[in-house]
């Protein structure tokens, strides 16, 4: 669809970056959406792959063209000149970040920071952060509107939770019933005061007392029922919803995880608790409360129009007081979530490398580094909570003032016989119920902004596309002939030099071929192996299985045929048996033992306190580094795959153990591809290639062997 002109003032909505280097992409998405496009981060990633170092201004300039903008880079000396800028524009920030300048008004600069959300600065603060470079964007006369496919939204996942709709219906019914019962109490009180007392009607009093007891009992039971339903829904959601989100997360492609620290994923999952509580309780209760509030207002009008108007005016002022704090609370929440991610990632990072920290005697420095992040989180979190308390104080003052004014008006009405004491009492009881509900309602509405931040964090996971799967269930399929990589190129940034260029290689699986790939450090061997293993996509080119594209053969079916050890591989915190069988209870124990025997680990494992049942982990020293590599090899052997892929499988092994391991692996059925720095490994393969300058060059293995023997 073509947009003839963009008419109207562009409104910028927050698009949060998900990775440190994605700020430029997120800024461009915000501006594109402000001019009528509808793009999200997954879409932005599909049009521009950001390299590890982030985006240059030139890259942003080129990307602007994709969205129909003419871009202009400007160096700004004096911020007074910025009033003349075409806004929104992209600013270079703190020398290493991009933000969107949305507007300048009243001497304040309103920006959208893709790492946090909207923020406002006065001129001094703004000048402290602004690096002086602006990218101004002018939409062209006609631009094609881009609408990214809407990914799965958070609410889609919530709604699909089993029994959620039914639970919402029940909570609504029970909450409404409880609310209506609560409204009946003031009416009974009024009757008692206005009719029973003046007439000393003891019989009526008896009837009213029984009625009141029944009402209060129903109300209490109703509340209990509502709380039970909410608890059940909340626990149900916790289980199902967490499973859906984490399950979806685990199905995302490797590149999603490569670009994020595990701490990022973990803290995103923490958002589930907040959102779940809101969806199963706050939201539904608010809807019921809104309905009952309207009823109580109607009843209050019955007692006194002027006093009800005073109550409504108080409510408007209370909402206004809350609104005053809304934007700042949301910003502080966003900042605290971002700070929490950094804190957790820093801590996990350190725990992962604790021996290095100790050996270099930098525990104190590490603690300081983590503490700074933690302190930042604590201060943001404090601010977010403090703002909520402050808002509460202001509201309290407003409501108190309203109470005094209404009380004055009420007593005056009684004195001038416009109202009975019973009516005044009932009015104030209704007013109390009304404010209680209205307050929960406004608290929940305000909380929506905080929940919005949590939802956006979860949507980063939910909206990312999972890996292509073959059908609902994988069928048993065996590689019969070969696996080919055809014209495969790999690069990690749009303008960066490709690591692998048009590589082609066929592994003859039928004849159990053995191939080695050697090359200098950083030449791209591991990246190529990951493409063969189907865990990474090439930038161009394809993987063919028995001549069919991988997508046709089926990703899951293909992976059922392969076993792999990657360079960065490690052990799970689990028993040795679980590590070798990969938690498959159907794998017989003797197959595990056989695999361990082949890699020469039997006697070492027998010496462990609990033998095969010993729990090992990457960071414990029960097994040496070389033993761990052999255990990883046993994992592959135990799988009996048609194609084995090994990255530096003999690293950390002495020549004798290396020889023994290769002697055991090589005769096994199944083709093998070894990525290695060990020239000795060339003696065990049929063919070898050297990856050099992105090209796969054949190596004469016989000649290489003879040369080594001569040395």
Ligand X SMILES: Nc1ncnc2c1ncn2[C@@H]1O[C@H](COP(=O)(O)OP(=O)(O)OP(=O)(O)O)[C@@H](O)[C@H]1O
Of the candidates 564, 606, 289, which has an alpha carbon nearest to the alpha carbon of residue 433? Answer: 289
Is there a contact between 494 and 49 (Cβ–Cβ < 8 Å)? Answer: yes
The rounded distance, in Å, linking the Cα atoms of 320 and 397 is 13
Residue 530 beta carbon to ligand X: minimum distance, rounded to whole angstroms: 8
Q: Does 179 bind ligand X (CB under 6 A)?
A: no
- Choice between 22 and 136, CB closer to ligand X: 22
Residue 633 beta carbon to ligand X: minimum distance, rounded to whole angstroms: 18
- Choice between 529 and 592, CB closer to ligand X: 529
Residue 526 beta carbon to ligand X: minimum distance, rounded to whole angstroms: 3
Residue 632 beta carbon to ligand X: minimum distance, rounded to whole angstroms: 16
- Residues 630-689 touching ligand X, rule: CB under 6 A, are none
Joined tokens for residue 637? 């052997």
- What is the DSSP secondary-structure string of 449-503? HHHHHHHHHHHHHHTSPPPP--SSSPPP----SEEEEEEEEE-SSTTSPPSEEEE
Phi, psi dihedrals of residue 33, rounded to the nearest 5°: -65, -35
Residue 8 beta carbon to ligand X: minimum distance, rounded to whole angstroms: 40
What residues have CB less than 8 Å from 384, skipping those under 6 apart? 329, 332, 333, 335, 336, 450
Choice from 115, 527, 579, 593 touching ligand X (CB under 6 A): 527
- Choice between 374 and 499, CB closer to ligand X: 499
Phi, psi dihedrals of residue 64, rounded to the nearest 5°: -55, -35
- Within 13 A of 285's CA, how many CA atoms are on the CB side? 23
Q: Does 523 bind ligand X (CB under 6 A)?
A: yes
Residue 519 beta carbon to ligand X: minimum distance, rounded to whole angstroms: 6
- Choice between 14 and 526, CB closer to ligand X: 526
The rounded distance, in Å, linking the Cα atoms of 561 and 551 is 15
Of the candidates 515, 513, 507, which has an alpha carbon nearest to the alpha carbon of residue 485? Answer: 507
The span of 220-228, 260-268, 523-531, 612-620 binding ligand X (CB under 6 A) equals 523-531
The rounded distance, in Å, linking the Cα atoms of 47 and 29 is 11
Joined tokens for residue 445? 């509405």
Residue 490 beta carbon to ligand X: minimum distance, rounded to whole angstroms: 8
- Choice between 45 and 454, CB closer to ligand X: 45
Choice from 78, 361, 417, 521 touching ligand X (CB under 6 A): 521
Is there a contact between 539 and 491 (Cβ–Cβ < 8 Å)? Answer: yes
Is there a contact between 484 and 308 (Cβ–Cβ < 8 Å)? Answer: no
- Choice between 402 and 541, CB closer to ligand X: 541
Of the candidates 524, 651, 538, 638, which has an alpha carbon nearest to the alpha carbon of residue 582? Answer: 638
The rounded distance, in Å, linking the Cα atoms of 42 and 61 is 20
Is there a contact between 31 and 477 (Cβ–Cβ < 8 Å)? Answer: no
The span of 106-114, 179-187, 260-268, 525-533 binding ligand X (CB under 6 A) equals 525-533
- CA-based end-to-end distance of the chain: 70
Choice from 364, 522, 585, 669 touching ligand X (CB under 6 A): 522
Burial environment of residue 657 by CB neighbours within 10 A (0 to 12, 13 to 18, 19 or more):
middle
Residue 684 beta carbon to ligand X: minimum distance, rounded to whole angstroms: 19
Burial environment of residue 405 by CB neighbours within 10 A (0 to 12, 13 to 18, 19 or more):
middle
- Choice between 260 and 268, CB closer to ligand X: 260
Residue 499 beta carbon to ligand X: minimum distance, rounded to whole angstroms: 4
Q: Does 252 bind ligand X (CB under 6 A)?
A: no
Residue 663 beta carbon to ligand X: minimum distance, rounded to whole angstroms: 24
The rounded distance, in Å, linking the Cα atoms of 21 and 96 is 9
Burial environment of residue 30 by CB neighbours within 10 A (0 to 12, 13 to 18, 19 or more):
buried
- Choice between 322 and 629, CB closer to ligand X: 629
Residue 70 beta carbon to ligand X: minimum distance, rounded to whole angstroms: 31
- Choice between 78 and 521, CB closer to ligand X: 521
Omega within 30 of 0 (cis) for the link into 88: yes
The rounded distance, in Å, linking the Cα atoms of 553 and 484 is 13
- Choice between 388 and 527, CB closer to ligand X: 527
Of the candidates 296, 284, 299, 276, which has an alpha carbon nearest to the alpha carbon of residue 175? Answer: 284
- Choice between 282 and 519, CB closer to ligand X: 519
Choice from 322, 525, 630, 635 touching ligand X (CB under 6 A): 525
Choice from 144, 227, 258, 367 touching ligand X (CB under 6 A): 258
Any alpha helices (H) in 96-201, and if so which ranges?
123-129, 154-159, 164-191, 197-199
Residue 115 beta carbon to ligand X: minimum distance, rounded to whole angstroms: 20
Joined tokens for residue 219? 């109300």
Encoded one letter per residue, x for contact with ligand X by CB under 6 A and - for no contact, window 484-503 reads --------x------x----
DSSP label at 579? H
Residue 521 beta carbon to ligand X: minimum distance, rounded to whole angstroms: 3
- Choice between 423 and 499, CB closer to ligand X: 499
- Residues 301-330 touching ligand X, rule: CB under 6 A, are none
Q: Does 52 bind ligand X (CB under 6 A)?
A: yes
Residue 568 beta carbon to ligand X: minimum distance, rounded to whole angstroms: 9
Residue 555 beta carbon to ligand X: minimum distance, rounded to whole angstroms: 19
Residue 676 beta carbon to ligand X: minimum distance, rounded to whole angstroms: 9
What residues have CB less than 8 Å from 224, skipping those under 6 apart? none
Report CA torsion sign: 107, 112, 113, 115: positive
Q: Does 526 bind ligand X (CB under 6 A)?
A: yes
- Choice between 499 and 637, CB closer to ligand X: 499
Phi, psi dihedrals of residue 160, rounded to the nearest 5°: -80, -5
3-state secondary structure of 227: helix
Residue 682 beta carbon to ligand X: minimum distance, rounded to whole angstroms: 16
Joined tokens for residue 363? 């525990």
Q: Does 622 bind ligand X (CB under 6 A)?
A: no
- Choice between 307 and 505, CB closer to ligand X: 505
- Choice between 457 and 525, CB closer to ligand X: 525
Report CA torsion sign: 26, 32, 34, 37: negative
- Residues 551-580 touching ligand X, rule: CB under 6 A, are 567
- Choice between 402 and 519, CB closer to ligand X: 519
For 505, left (φ over 0), alpha (ψ -120 to 50), or beta?
A: beta
Q: Does 524 bind ligand X (CB under 6 A)?
A: yes
- Choice between 18 and 33, CB closer to ligand X: 18
Please tell me the count of residues contacting ligand X according to CB under 6 A.
13
- Choice between 340 and 525, CB closer to ligand X: 525
- Residues 501-520 touching ligand X, rule: CB under 6 A, are 519
Encoded one letter per residue, x for contact with ligand X by CB under 6 A and - for no contact, window 261-280 reads --------------------
Residue 164 beta carbon to ligand X: minimum distance, rounded to whole angstroms: 38
Is there a contact between 423 and 302 (Cβ–Cβ < 8 Å)? Answer: no
List residues near ligand X by CB under 6 A: 52, 258, 492, 499, 519, 521-527, 567
């Amino acid at each position: 669809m073509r947009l003839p002109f963009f008419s109207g003032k562009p409104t910028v909505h927050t698009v949060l970056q998900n990775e440190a280097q994605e700020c430029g992409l997120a800024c461009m998405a915000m501006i594109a959406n402000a001019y009528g496009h509808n793009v999200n981060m997954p879409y932005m990633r599909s049009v521009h792959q950001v390299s590890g170092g982030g985006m240059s201004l030139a890259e942003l300039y080129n990307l602007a063209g994709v969205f129909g903008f003419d871009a202009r880079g400007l160096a700004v000396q004096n911020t007074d000149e910025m009033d003349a800028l075409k806004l929104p524009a992209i600013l270079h920030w703190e020398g290493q970040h991009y933000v969107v300048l949305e507007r300048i008004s009243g001497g304040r600069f309103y920006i959208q920071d893709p790492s946090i959300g909207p923020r406002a600065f006065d001129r001094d603060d703004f000048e402290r952060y602004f690096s002086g470079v602006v990218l101004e964007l002018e939409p062209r006369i006609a631009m094609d509107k881009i609408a990214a496919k809407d990914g799965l939204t958070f609410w889609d996942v919530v709604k699909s939770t089993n029994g959620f709709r039914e639970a919402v219906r029940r909570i609504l019914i029970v909450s409404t019933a409880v609310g209506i019962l609560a409204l009946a109490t003031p009416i009974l009180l009024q009757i008692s005061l206005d009719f029973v007392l003046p007439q000393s009607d003891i019989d009526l009093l008896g009837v009213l007392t029984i009625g009141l007891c029944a009402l209060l009992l129903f109300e209490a039971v109703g509340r209990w029922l509502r709380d039970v339903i909410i608890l059940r829904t909340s626990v149900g959601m916790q289980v199902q919803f967490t499973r859906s989100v984490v399950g979806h997360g685990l199905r995302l492609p490797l590149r999603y995880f490569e670009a994020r620290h595990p701490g990022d994923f973990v803290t995103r999952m923490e958002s589930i608790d907040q959102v779940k509580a809101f969806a199963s309780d706050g939201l539904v209760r608010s809807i019921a409360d809104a309905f009952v509030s309207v009823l109580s207002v109607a009843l209050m009008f019955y007692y006194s129009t002027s006093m009800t108007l005073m109550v409504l005016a108080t409510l408007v002022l209370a909402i206004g007081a809350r609104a005053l704090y809304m934007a700042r609370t949301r910003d502080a929440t966003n900042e605290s979530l971002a700070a929490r991610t950094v804190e957790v990632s820093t801590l996990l990072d350190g725990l992962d490398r604790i021996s290095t920290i100790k050996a270099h005697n930098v525990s104190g420095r590490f603690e300081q580094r983590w503490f700074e992040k933690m302190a930042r989180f604590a201060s943001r979190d404090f601010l977010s909570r403090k703002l909520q308390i402050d808002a509460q104080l202001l509201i309290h003052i407003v409501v108190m003032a309203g109470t005094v004014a209404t009380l004055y008006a009420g007593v005056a009405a009684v004195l001038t016989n416009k109202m009975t004491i019973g009516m005044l009492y009932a009015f104030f009881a209704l007013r109390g119920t009304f404010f209680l509900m209205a307050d929960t309602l406004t608290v929940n509405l305000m909380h929506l902004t905080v929940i919005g931040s949590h939802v956006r964090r979860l949507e980063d996971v939910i909206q990312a596309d999972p890996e292509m799967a073959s059908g609902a269930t994988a069928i048993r399929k065996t590689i019969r002939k070969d696996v080919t990589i055809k014209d495969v190129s790999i690069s990690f940034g749009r303008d960066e030099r490709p690591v692998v260029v048009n590589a082609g290689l066929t592994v003859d699986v039928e004849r159990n071929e053995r191939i080695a790939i050697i090359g200098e450090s950083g030449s791209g061997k591991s990246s190529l192996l990951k493409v063969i293993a189907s865990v990474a996509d090439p930038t161009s080119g394809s993987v063919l299985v028995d001549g069919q594209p991988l997508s046709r053969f089926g990703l899951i079916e293909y992976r059922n045929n392969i076993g792999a050890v990657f360079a960065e591989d490690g052990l799970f915190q689990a028993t040795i048996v679980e590590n070798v069988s990969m938690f498959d209870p159907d794998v017989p124990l003797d197959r595990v033992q056989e695999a361990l025997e082949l890699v020469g680990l039997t006697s070492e494992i027998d010496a462990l306190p609990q033998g095969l049942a010993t729990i090992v982990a990457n960071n414990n020293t029960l097994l040496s580094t070389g033993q761990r590599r052999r255990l990883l090899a046993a994992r592959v052997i135990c799988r009996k795959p048609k194609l084995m892929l090994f990255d530096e499988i003999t690293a950390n092994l002495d020549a004798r153990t290396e020889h023994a391991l290769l002697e055991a692996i090589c005769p096994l059925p199944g083709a093998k591809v070894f990525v290695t720095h060990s020239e000795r490994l060339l003696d065990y393969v049929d063919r070898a290639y050297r990856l050099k300058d992105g090209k796969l060059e054949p190596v004469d293995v016989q000649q290489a062997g003879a040369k080594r023997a001569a040395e």
